[in-house]
Structure 1
Amino acid sequence: MADTQSVSSKIDMIKVDGGRNTSTSISLPLVVSIVALVIAVIGLILAAASLTQNANNTFVIGETGSSAGNTGAQTDGINDDDDRIWVVAIGHAAESLEYIDELSGQIEGFDVDIVNAVCRIAGKNCRFSADVYTRCWDSQVGEAQRGGVGLYSGFYDACTGWFHTYLRDRTFQFSDPFSTIEGEKVGFFVKPGNPRNFTYQDISGKKIGFLDGYSSDESCVARQDIQGVPIPPENVIHYLDREQLVAGIQNEEVDAGFDPVVYLKDSDMVEVIPGFTAQCAIAGQSMMMRKDNTMWEWWNPAFAKLRASTEYKRICRDLLEQHGHFPGPSPEEHCFDY
């Protein structure tokens, strides 16, 4: 009868040595140690991958403090802490509401001034996270519009300066608006001289350009009392920024662009079609956040205090005096009670 050996003390292994199979034995504790080491290495690799993924968040800090990681972003929407960091995303469009100052490298503008003032009044520790707009709200041609991965995933607590629309309201919640909707009146823009004979009364068969993720989208056009709506997907072209949209109009990639009038009304690259403006938003610029986020609870009363103060009027005045070297709405178009 063959000799039986306890598996608790020995494990038979086959070792390849110079092309020859040689029987040897390895103790069980050594095997367990090797397995544990392999698991630890895999864990380190996964952790490194996670850090690399989050490294895309670049934090640009305003007056409220020094740089910080995104550990302060809202995750459960329940716990509030005076020491926590509230992270707000802000874009980098070259307009008076938000732009990158060439000397300081910081993001400046009306939206930045509002956030800094409200956070100071509320006694909150706020930080800015510079990110592309589509990580707050995304719209792809022929697809349902949806919340951006940054706000969905909790990279930040809120996105700054987003107009309240019907579609966005189904997905996110909004603070009280800190601007009117007058600056969001939208129109059709064409190449100077209108060489393609575009008319807003009937846009059947016309290619229309839109800014990706903006409230002035194809669903807003579809609500207008004009012929040719809704626009079929093959006639919709999205652009990532206003410069690309203007180039598309200039190169006649599209028959017309659909954009807020205040940003292009003085441009010599395009001209607005007279006699038509649309209102795409149902409320002015607000803080847009996940529905489980509690930021609005302190933001709304703090903004109410700011609006009742002379500081709000100063911020509105600075929209023209400090930030007016970039295109954008006037204080009368954008601010309450101005």
Structure 2
Amino acid sequence: MADTEKIYNESNQNSGNQMPLVLSILALVLAVIGVIIASVSLSQKGTNNFNIGAGIGGTYSDAGSTGAQSGNDGVNDDDKIWVLATGHGASNTEYIDEISGQIMGFNVDITNAVCRIAGKNCRWSADVYTRCWNSEIGETQRGGEGLYSGYYDACTGWFHTYVRSRTFQFSDPYTTTEEAAFIVKDGNQGAFDYRDISNKKIGFIDGFVFDEFCVARQDIQGVPIPPGNLVHYLGREELLAGIQSEEVDAGFDAVLNWLNIDMVDVIPDFRAECAIAGRALMMREDSTLWQWWNPAFAKLRASAEYKLICRDLLEQHGHFPGPSPEDVCFDYK
């Protein structure tokens, strides 16, 4: 009896000593199997591949991502509030109404209509132009802090240019292009001659397409303009003051914005093309806004509402200077 108990006890002790080893081996085998399964799964899973097209009518592809159409912020576009920025200028394209305090103008009317047609929830933000695009004297042109940092989804009313296309993308344009010219004090008392601007101080609006780089592309004497002869202003009112005070010999800007201002003359016989397309929405490269804007604007342009909005350039917003419907609207008669 004693021998039997001894054998039984030794057997149990040996079994107990082997159990941890068995469990360790089993755990190792299971871990290896898990790694193999994970590797196979990863090799079969698709990868996200975004190709966001810059410029007008860019293309966008999405392989293996179910959330791409909702934008990079992961918010469904149907629920997203799209924030659109307008500038601080005062023309019939965009201005702050002194009575209501509301942002108004042609750019606002067009964009509100497109947002309604697309069924999007749009909000407005007023900001200085340089937060959309900046072109300080002697500095490389660059995107503004507001658009770069995502303070808003797009800046409205910006002309499509080659330089801006290297940084941002654009919606389809909702106007034609505009010509630029030199603007001088009424009567051209300084006898400004556009054919030779050597030693002349020229004023520009900071961030605008009608800039010193556009002047430098023209076949005239005195270009490129040396930095000491460049003066940048924040807006048209400031440029007008600079022309009136003779701080500059001439300004350079879109012709249409100065035709109805008595205090200045637009130099004849010279016009410059500075943009490759008309006013549009300018946005970051990762934006999907143009995907719904372009088809919605196409519907608006084909409707009678587009011509009514163009008509209101003068009938509703004509108390501010700016272009006429024939100057900027497509096929307006």
Q: Give the match for residue 193 of structure 2.
A: 199
Helix, strand or coil at the partner of 2:320: coil
- Give 1:265-284 correspondences, 5 Å limit: 265-284=259-278
Which residue of the other structure, out of 174, 193, 196, is the alignment partner of 1:178?
174
| CA–CA separation in structure 2 for the residues paired with 1:115 and 1:310 | 16
Which residue of the other structure, out of 108, 116, 119, is the alignment partner of 1:120?
116
- Whichever structure has more helix as a proportion of its residues is 2
Q: Is the 8 A contact 2:168 2:285 kept in 1?
A: yes
Which residue of the other structure, out of 204, 209, 234, is the alignment partner of 1:210?
204
1:226 and 2:220 correspond: yes
Helix, strand or coil at the partner of 1:319: helix
Q: Offset at 1:83?
A: 0.8
CA RMSD of aligned residues (A): 1.4
| CA–CA separation in structure 2 for the residues paired with 1:147 and 1:230 | 23
Q: Which has the larger radius of gyration?
A: 2
Structure 2: state its 5+ residue gaps.
1-69
Q: Give the match for residue 15 of structure 2.
A: none
| CA–CA separation in structure 2 for the residues paired with 1:102 and 1:256 | 30
| CA–CA separation in structure 1 for the residues paired with 2:328 and 2:241 | 27
Q: Offset at 1:76?
A: 2.8
TM-score, with length taken from structure 1 = 0.76
| CA–CA separation in structure 2 for the residues paired with 1:154 and 1:186 | 31
1:1-23 residue CA offsets vs partner (Å, 9 max, x unmatched): xxxxxxxxxxxxxxxxxxxxxxx
TM-score, with length taken from structure 2 = 0.77
Aligned amino acid, residue 124 of structure 2: F
Cα 1:77–1:278 change in 2 (3 A) is farther
1:328 and 2:322 correspond: yes
Aligned amino acid, residue 176 of structure 1: D
Helix, strand or coil at the partner of 2:242: helix
1:259-292 residue CA offsets vs partner (Å, 9 max, x unmatched): 1111112222111111101111110000000011
Q: Is the 8 A contact 1:215 1:281 kept in 2?
A: yes
Helix, strand or coil at the partner of 1:226: coil
Which residue of the other structure, out of 240, 250, 256, is the alignment partner of 1:256?
250
Q: Give the match for residue 90 of structure 2.
A: 94
Q: Is the 8 A contact 1:249 1:255 kept in 2?
A: yes
| CA–CA separation in structure 2 for the residues paired with 1:92 and 1:250 | 21
Instruction: List, as ranges, runs of 4+ consecutive aligned residues in structure 1 with deviation greater than 6 Å.
Output: none
Q: Give the match for residue 293 of structure 1.
A: 287
User: % of aligned pairs identical?
Assistant: 71
Aligned amino acid, residue 151 of structure 1: L
1:91-115 residue CA offsets vs partner (Å, 9 max, x unmatched): 2311100111122110111111111
Which residue of the other structure, out of 228, 233, 254, is the alignment partner of 1:239?
233
1:129 and 2:125 correspond: yes
| CA–CA separation in structure 2 for the residues paired with 1:195 and 1:162 | 33
| CA–CA separation in structure 2 for the residues paired with 1:136 and 1:198 | 32
Q: Give the match for residue 297 of structure 2.
A: 303
Q: Give the match for residue 317 of structure 1.
A: 311
1:117-139 residue CA offsets vs partner (Å, 9 max, x unmatched): 10111111110111111100011
Cα 1:78–1:297 change in 2 (3 A) is farther
Q: How many residues align?
A: 263
Q: Is the 8 A contact 2:71 2:288 kept in 1?
A: no
1:24-54 residue CA offsets vs partner (Å, 9 max, x unmatched): xxxxxxxxxxxxxxxxxxxxxxxxxxxxxxx
- Give 1:46-65 correspondences, 5 Å limit: none
Q: Give the match for residue 142 of structure 2.
A: 146
Aligned amino acid, residue 252 of structure 1: E
